[in-house]
A and B are shown apart, each in its own frame.
Chain A
Amino acid sequence: MTPAASLTRLLKLVPARRHWLQSMAQGVLALAVLRAWPARAQGMVSGQLLSLPQMLEPLLQGRVAKPQGLRLELPVLVDNGSLVPVRVQVDSPMTEQDHITHIYLLSQRNPVTQMAVFHLGPWSGRAEVSARLRLAGSQLVVALARRSDGSFCYQSADALVTESACVDGS
C-alpha cells in the first residue's frame, strides 16, 4: 500500500477512533510541554550533570584535592552563556621550590569537561589567570590547581545561566 493510501485509510477512521487519537496526541503534547516547561523557566538544560568526583577524578587519579587556598571568581547570574568572565587566584610564593604548575577549569555540564588548562611556573611570579568561558547552561564550575609538590587544591562556584528569550537565527 502506498504511503498516501495508508494515510487516506488512517484519515477515514471511524470518527470515534479519530477523536481518541486526537485526544491521545493532545495528551502527549501536553505532557511534553509540561516536562519541558520548568526546565525552560529555570534556565538552559543540556547534557548530563557530572558530580564533583566525576569531574576531578580523571585529573587527581586517587590523590586528594583540598578545598582551600584557591579563589574562583565567577558571576552568579550570567548574562549570556557565550561569554562568562572567570578569574582564578591560588596562594603560592611561586618560587622554584614551591609553585603552581597547572590550573584546570572544569565544567559540570559542557560537552567538553576540561575547558582550559594553564601551565605556570616560578617565572609566572603569581598564580593568577583570567579567561572568558562558554557555559552550556546553569552548572557548577570547578578550578583545580596542582602544586609543584604534587598536591592539589580546588574551589567550585555555581553559575546560573539564563536562557535567551529570543531565538536568533539571523
Chain B
Amino acid sequence: MGNARLLLPESMAPGDVVKARLLVEHPMHTGYLQDLQGRLVARNVILLLTCDYGGREVFRVEPSSGIAGNPLFEFFFRVQNPGELRVRWVDDRGLAGELLHPVTVQVPAGPSAGA
C-alpha cells in the first residue's frame, strides 16, 4: 500500500511520554474536484487510523475530507517496554495500510538491576 513514515525521539526511557510524528501517503480525495478530463474524482479518504503498542491501542483518529492529502499526525503516548508501534489505516475504498516501527527503550543501568 502507500508509503508512510514515523518518527520517535532518539532516546526514550520507561515512563516517558513521547511524541510520535506520523506521515502517511494518501491523496485524501475530497470528491469535489475534477481531473484534467473533467471527470469527478471520487471521494477517497482515510476513514480510520489506529496505532497499537504493547498490545493496546494508543492512538485513534477518524479523519475526513477536511484533512489535507498525505496527512501528518502528531500524538503522544506513554512508553514502557521495548516493542513496536503498529499503525493501521483504512480508506473509503476499503484499502488498508500498515506501518511497523520499533520502540527502543533505554532501561537505565543501576544497582537495582538484578538485585
Residues in chain A within 8 A of chain B (CB atoms)? 82-84, 87, 105, 107, 110-112, 114-120, 123-126, 128-135, 169-170
Name the residue of chain A whose CB is nearest to the CB of B30.
Answer: A134
A114-B66, A128-B75 known; 14 new pairs, CB 8 Å cut-off, are: A83-B69, A107-B66, A110-B65, A111-B32, A111-B65, A112-B65, A118-B59, A120-B75, A123-B78, A125-B76, A128-B74, A131-B67, A131-B74, A132-B68
Q: Which chain B residues border A117 with CB–CB below 8 Å?
A: 61-62
* A87 CA / B19 CA spacing, docked (Å): 13
Is B39 positioned at the interface, with any CB of A under 8 Å from its CB? no
Is B82 positioned at the interface, with any CB of A under 8 Å from its CB? no
* A105 CA / B32 CA spacing, docked (Å): 20
* A105 CA / B73 CA spacing, docked (Å): 13
Would you give the shortest CB distance from B46 to chain A, in whole angstroms?
A: 10
* A131 CA / B46 CA spacing, docked (Å): 14
Q: Which chain B residues border A134 with CB–CB below 8 Å?
A: 28, 30, 65-68
Is B60 positioned at the interface, with any CB of A under 8 Å from its CB? yes
Is B17 positioned at the interface, with any CB of A under 8 Å from its CB? yes
Q: Given contacts A111-B32, A123-B58, are A130 and B72 in contact (CB under 8 A)? A: yes
Q: Which of B17, B56, B61 contacts A125 (CB 8 A)?
A: B17
* A117 CA / B66 CA spacing, docked (Å): 11
Would you give the shortest CB distance from A40 to chain B, in whole angstroms?
A: 19
Would you give the shortest CB distance from B13 to chain A, in whole angstroms?
A: 13
B60 touches A133 (CB 8 A): no
Name the residue of chain B whose CB is nearest to the CB of A84.
Answer: B68
A-B contact pairs, 8 of them (CB 8 A): A87-B74, A118-B61, A118-B75, A119-B61, A123-B77, A124-B76, A125-B76, A130-B72
The A-contacting residues of B in range 13-71, CB under 8 angstroms, are: 17-18, 28, 30, 32, 36, 56, 58-69, 71
Name the residue of chain A whose CB is nearest to the CB of B46.
Answer: A116
Q: Which chain A residues border B66 with CB–CB below 8 Å?
A: 105, 107, 110, 112, 114-116, 133-135
Q: Which of A84, A115, A129 contacts B75 (CB 8 A)?
A: A129
A125 touches B64 (CB 8 A): no
Name the residue of chain B whose CB is nearest to the CB of A129.
Answer: B75
* A126 CA / B69 CA spacing, docked (Å): 26
Would you give the shortest CB distance from A75 to chain B, in whole angstroms?
A: 13
Shortest 8 CB-CB distances between A and B: which pairs? A115-B66, A125-B17, A130-B74, A119-B60, A126-B76, A132-B68, A125-B78, A83-B68
A130 touches B69 (CB 8 A): no
A130 touches B67 (CB 8 A): no
